[in-house]
Amino acid sequence: MDYICSKCGESHEELPAIAFKTPHYYDILSDEDKIEIATINSDLCVITHEDQTDRFIRAVLHQKIYDCSDTLDYGIWVSLSEKSFDDYVKNFDSEEQDVTYFGYISTEIPAMMTHFLFRRMSLFQNMVIGRK
């Protein structure tokens, strides 16, 4: 299945990834708050409220496709604790870093995709979240 990439304009054979540019909690901020209390780039987002700080990283959710060698990849955002976020940032460029972090998916996944992704609990066994 060839397709033309909207990012690079080139033709690719592998399945396209479905990516989300920002975490849901950033999306629901007012334009003013996005400027005043949030910091975001393509991989990290920090939102500093008066009573708490929310930290998010960009991750890839790999979903195996039944009876196929390919995976369907989703570029999602995951919330991390302060300790995990700081460790992740500190080791971001390290090829040797092999750590698992606990986090919550913080991407607003449209209803149609939610049904597709989570309609059976057995699908959870086939999902792996990683950086690449």
Please check whether residue 105 is in contact with residue 83, taking contact to mean a CB–CB distance below 8 angstroms: no
One-letter amino acid of 34: K
pLDDT (tens digit per residue) in 83-101: 999 999 998 888 777 788 8
Residues 6+ apart with CB under 8 A from 15: 1, 70, 71, 72, 73
Q: What range does the domain containing 104 cover?
A: 3-130
Q: What is the pLDDT of residues 29-65, one digit of tens each?
A: 999 999 999 999 999 999 999 999 999 999 888 877 7
Lookup: tokens for 83: 């300790």
Domain count, the chain: 1
CA 54-92-36 angle, to 5 degrees, is 35
Separation of alpha carbons 11 and 2, rounded Å: 6
